[in-house]
Amino acid sequence: MRLVTKQIYNRAETVRYDSDEGEYRAVTELGRPDAEYFNSQKDILEQTRAQIETVCRHNYEQTEVPTSLRRLEQPKVTVSLSRTEALNHHNLLVCSVTDFYPAQIKVRWFQNGQEATAGVVSTQLIKNGDWTFQILVMLEMTPQRGDVYTCHVEHPSLQSPVTVEWRAQSESAQSKMLSGIGGFVLGLIFLGLGLFVRHRSQKGLLQ
């Protein structure tokens, strides 16, 4: 997005501000004193630079532009637990929604299919350097075995909402799951070593 302002005198452009340059430039000698003055005034420069957000971006987002012509960036959604605790202990689920554009977004929490409104806390929209946004929406909860929590995200870039689930598990279930993952990884390692040794043996016989 780019902001360009022009100062006209007697139907001729004398001074121009371009956000890509970040300062006023004299177009004619008549405009040189004004350009030098504007650039020397910190308040004027900051106010003009801010117009790309307060004026340009605001107008762009309020204008009805065909979806095919608008910039749309789909949000990335992850859910995590703030503390590793056993069941039946107070905790905080964090739904992290990042890298989306435009700014309007709706993030909701559901518990076992029912929308949760109590204990929901949200940060303000955070602007990234590439004009995309991110937001954190937290849910205070005390998980019980079998509970299913869902972060539900709606955004103009999505044809349908994105949902990410978090399921409450007992410590024994978590241990079994981690053991299963560990066993699977070890199995892959031993399989790879076996194939490598077999390949080396066959290579030695051919020589």
Give the closest residue to 153 by CA, choosing from 127, 177, 134. 134
Give the closest residue to 56 by CA, choosing from 5, 124, 126, 128. 5
* Residue 117 CB-density burial (10 A; 0-12 exposed, 13-18 middle, 19+ buried): exposed
| Residues of the chain above pLDDT 90, percent | 44
pLDDT tens-digit readout, 20-63: 888 999 999 998 999 999 999 888 888 888 887 777 766 766 66
pLDDT tens-digit readout, 89-139: 889 999 999 999 999 999 999 999 999 999 999 999 999 988 899 999 999
**pLDDT at position 198:** 56
Tell me how far the alpha carbon of residue 137 is from its chain's centroid. 12
Please state, in angstroms and rounded to a whole number, the distance separating the CA atoms of residues 137 and 95. 5
Is-contact 92 81, C-beta < 8 A?
Answer: yes
